[in-house]
Structures are given as C-alpha cells and as structure tokens.
Amino acid sequence: MKKVIISVLLMTMTVMAWARPSRKIIDGAGSGPYKAEAISEATLPDSTDYTMKAKNFPDVNEPFTVKEIHCKSRDGKDIWGQLYMPVSQEKQVPIVIMAHGYNGTHYEPKPFAESLAMNGVASYIFDFCGGSNNSKSEGETTEMTIFTEKGNVEDITEMVKSWDFVDPARVALLGCSQGGLVAGLTAAANPDAYKSLILVYPAFTIPATAPMMLKRFDADGGKPQEVMGMKLGRGYYEAINGMDPLDSIGAYKGDVFIVYGDKDMIVAGGVDKAVEKYEKCKTQVIAGGDHGFSNYRHHEEATGGIVDFVLKTLSKPRGRWHHKFDSSNPDVHDPVMAKENGKYYMFTTGMGVGMMSSDDMKTWKLEEQVLNPIPEWAKEPVPAYKGHTWAPDIIKVGDKWYLYYSCSTFGKNISAIGVATNNTLDPQSPDYKWEDQGMVIMSQPGVTDWNAIDPNVIIDKKGNPWLTFGSFWDGIQLVQLEKDMKTPKGKPVTIARRRNADSVAHLQPTANTNAIEAPFITYKDGYYYLFVSYDYCCKGINSNYKTAVGRSKNVAGPYLDKDGKDMAATGGTVLLAESPDYSGIGHCSVYDFDGKWYIAAHGYDKRRNGASKLYLRELNWKDGWPEIAE
C-alpha cells in the first residue's frame, strides 16, 4: 500500500511540474509575440537576414524566433516540436534539447528555452509520443514507456545535429522530472552526443514504484490503468521493473547540473545518490522549492542557475582576453551623468553599477563599482540577480545624491528598482560612502503589466519628485514619490507606448512587441521633455535602437510629439537613429551643464563591429525642440 501511495504522489507531483497554474504561459503557436511558423519538413528554410529585419521591419523584430519543426521517430511516428532560435552572429549556435515530465508537454521547459534564447543559445522543445493526454505528437499514452521516450530524444538529437546552423559539438540535453530520468539514461547510452547534461528535479525514483504498480495491473487483468488522469499500459512498468538507473547513469562523463527544491518529496534520496555517480556534477538546491517550482521565484532562481551552467559549458573555447579600458572612447551601456565641484561623473550598467569620472568630458577615468557589496534585498524579488545592475539614474536633492538602479531578469518583468544615497560623488572624499536604502518599486509576471527597470527621477517646479520607468509590456510609467524620494504615491500610469495598447499581448511572462524603454524627463523653458528609446538594443551591429522625444506643459503629461500626437498613443519624434557610424543610438540622458546642453547615450559602433560606445554630444534647441549640434 505504501508504494502505491508513493506512485500516486509521484504522478501528482510530476503533473504539477507542467501545470504550474501560477505562471501564465502563452502558446508560441499563433498567440503572444513569438508566433510559430509551421514547417512541413524537418529542416529550416534559408536563414533569416536579421540585419535587414532589424532595420526595415521593426514592427516584427523579436529577440528570437520560434519555428515549428517536426521529427520522425524510429517507428514512424510524428514528433511535434519547436525551435527557439536566437538572433546571433554565430554561424553555428549551441543548442539544448529539452524533455518534459510525465503527462506534460513542451510548456514545461518553455521558460528555460526563452531565457536561453535571450542569451544566444538555441533550444528545441517537443512533446513525447504518447507522453500526455495533450501531446501534439502521435502515439498513445498506453504505448509510452521510459524507453520509447529515450528513443524520441535520440531521434531528435540526430535531427538537430544535422542542421547546418547548429554546432554539433555544443549540444546539451535537459530533462524535467520523468524527462530528467529519460535524459540521464539517454546521456549514459550516448555519452559522446552531449556536451553537458541538465537534470531539473529528476525523478530517478520512478522505477522503485514498478513492483506495486504491476500488482495493480495484474489485479485488473492487465488492463490499462489510469494514473493521475492518464492511462498507462502494463508495459510502462514492465520496462522499468527491477531497474536501478543509478547503475548506469555514471557512464556519462561530461558536465552535469542538477537543480531541485529542498521540499521536493519526489527527488528525495535519488538525487544525492545520483550526484555521487557523476564525475563532474554541480547541484543547485532551491530553498523552499517543491517539485516543479510552483513558486515563480523558485522557478526563476533555478532558471538563472540553468542559464549560467549552459552558457559556461556550451561556450566556445577562448584564449586569454583582457578588456582594456579606452579612456577616450569607453564601452558603456545606459549612461547618466552628474557634475560636482567642477568634475563630471558618469554611471552605467555594470557589476554593482559602473562609474567613471572626467575633468573635461573627453578623457574618462574608471572608478570602483558603486554598490559594493551588492544589495542583498534584491535577491528576494529578483532571484536571478547576482550583482549585474542595470540602467542607473543620479539626482541631487538638497545636500544628498540619490542613485536609482535596476535589478532584473533579461526579457522578463521580474524586476525591482532600488536607491542608494551619498553625500558626495568624489571617491577621494572622506565623506564618500554609498548607503543602500532598499527597494522603491517592483514588478512581477502576471501581476504588473509593466517592468520596473530604467528609472529616472525629476523634481517638478512645485518641488514634487516623480519616478518614470519602464521597458516593453505597457510601456513607460510615471508615479509620484513621497518626499522621502523612495515611496510611490499612488499607482503608476502609462505615459508612452511604442504600440497601441490593443495590439500587444499583456500580462505575459516575457517581453512583448511594445519596444519602448529608457525614459528620461528634463525641463526647459516651460516644457517637460520626455526622451525614450524605441526598438531593440543589445544586438551589436544588428541593434536598431532609436531615441524619440515629446513634450508637455505638465510633468504628468500628456507628452506630444512635433505633430501633436500623444506618446501614450504611439507618438514620438525620432531624434537619433541609425547613422553612417552607428547601427542605433539610445538609452539617453540629457543635461544642462553651465548653460550648455548635452545628450549622453550609447551607440552600436559599426566601425568596431557593433561595440556599445559612449555617444556624448552637445544639444541645441530650435523652435522648442532638441537637435544634435554639428
């Protein structure tokens, strides 16, 4: 009886792994921003010209593409799957084949595929033949066994390695729950096929349930039995009866990563023993995590570990390389500036926020990172945060400097904005000390339809502080702050969009097509000017970032462009875009230093293979609108 209960518990928890009602997942086939394109053959068409796509068709530009690709199994069945293909300058990309759990579908590993695609790694997700009631692949659930699934993975591996855009030497295998057991067995049988192996809450304990379950089949004349809503044939348990997967998994000698929760009753016992069998195995134990990581924070923490492991093990071997700081043409992202006692300071995206100083805005000196140690509070709302801190903003109020910063997960609105204070910006001063004040605002998938990154603070003419922020989702947000410069006063409202609100997917876990971000508000001659960035950064020479602007008599808007169109309804006059030297220029900040106006941004330098370089120019004003000085 005890083993029957264990079996039922096993299937219950495994089903939880793919159900995850707390995470809203949008099907890539025909909905959401990543719409699958049906392909009848098991090969891709000619590769997309991403450069032309980025420059000429921004409305459909995406950080990665999703294509439906089928594979034939060794017994002639159709295996349904999707390729997540990153925009990459590599001729051959690394790829991860991902296997779902019992009675699951491709939805289970889909978030991992999205995160890896954002980081330049392709993935192939699929439905096992007979793997669930909702499988898009052919086959009956009563015919499915651990070994038919192993055969599916081997057939997919052969197909994937035949694609000319895939590096066959950089293929990894990932499996969730029962898929983890299948992945472990497949890698052991094909030890040279995979560069690395990722096991996500692997259910190595499944074979132990076979003896009692076979008695259940025998008691009913061998008829198929329903186990947690899915019918299994007797052959499922016959195939694993008496088998101990730990006897064979050690045949795989490559790098292994196992991630699971310390509250997971399914993996208990099996994982510890599995770790001992592998020669090169790393583990990540998620505190409080259950089977399937139903809590999104646990899921994101695991995703971060998976992405880090995959990037490390599938990266191309490189020789020694040391970055040399270019004082006259520095590499930057998201620059903001301040001036104190005749010296200029610049803060940028970087580990703990990057910082530079200059006497003339021409030659820059690299300073120590601002946040050291990094803020520990951020790891709660943003589990994947490890110190790389985005898009700061700096403002002086009274005798104190306020530095706002972003902690986030790439491509997702699992984000938070924090603030730190200092009495001076001079690192040589005895008064120089950044004191972190904690969180200002946060965003969550399925809860907020905005992304809490890219902060900018302005004090209006009545002395009230306002925070503007946002990236994708429902666009640029504005909220008033209390006098403490930290506490939001009311709820944020949308003041700028790149797309009409009814033309994009809302409340989804990954970024939609509303490609607008990086707001910055400044004041001049009776108008508040809102600068934003359109389209896509971070793609090197393929980036198509643009800087646009609108203005308003009221800090709360509406912000209108030169043609009088509201920026909340897709308005905005483009100030900077592609030029002979830059693929795109964006994420700007604007300042009046001693009567001269300047714009600081980063541009993707065509002369340096798309490197992100500081773009710092004087700014003129004509008829109430900014323009770049000659």
Place of tokens 């970032």: 545
Tell me whether residue 264 is one of the annotated catalytic residues. Answer: no
Hey, how many other C-beta atoms are within 10 angstroms of the C-beta on 584?
A: 30
Lookup: tokens for 197: 């192996």
Catalytic member of 334, 474, 535, 561? 334
Q: What angle do CA 141, 215, 265 make, to 5 degrees?
A: 70
Asked if 358 and 364 count as a contact pair (C-beta separation under 8 A), the reply is yes
Which position among 114, 517, 535, 566 bears the catalytic label? 517
**Dihedral of CA 79/84/90/91: which sign?**
positive
Distance of alpha carbon 282 from alpha carbon 290, whole angstroms: 19
Apex 505 CA angle, 499 and 510, nearest 5: 105
Distance CA 140, CA 155 (A): 18
Asked if residue 258 lies in contact with residue 202, where contact means CB atoms within 8 angstroms, the answer is: yes
Rounded CA separation 517/543 (Å): 14
Strand order, beta sheet including 196-200: 37-38, 64-68, 81-86, 122-126, 93-99, 166-176, 196-200, 255-261, 280-286
Report the distance separating Cα 427 and Cα 555, nearest Å: 34
Clarify whether 517 is annotated catalytic: yes
Q: Is residue 581 classed as helix, strand or coil in its secondary structure? A: coil
Helix (H, G, I), strand (E, B) or coil at 485: coil
Residues 493 and 566: beta-carbon distance below 8 Å: no
* Catalytic sites, residue numbers: 334, 517
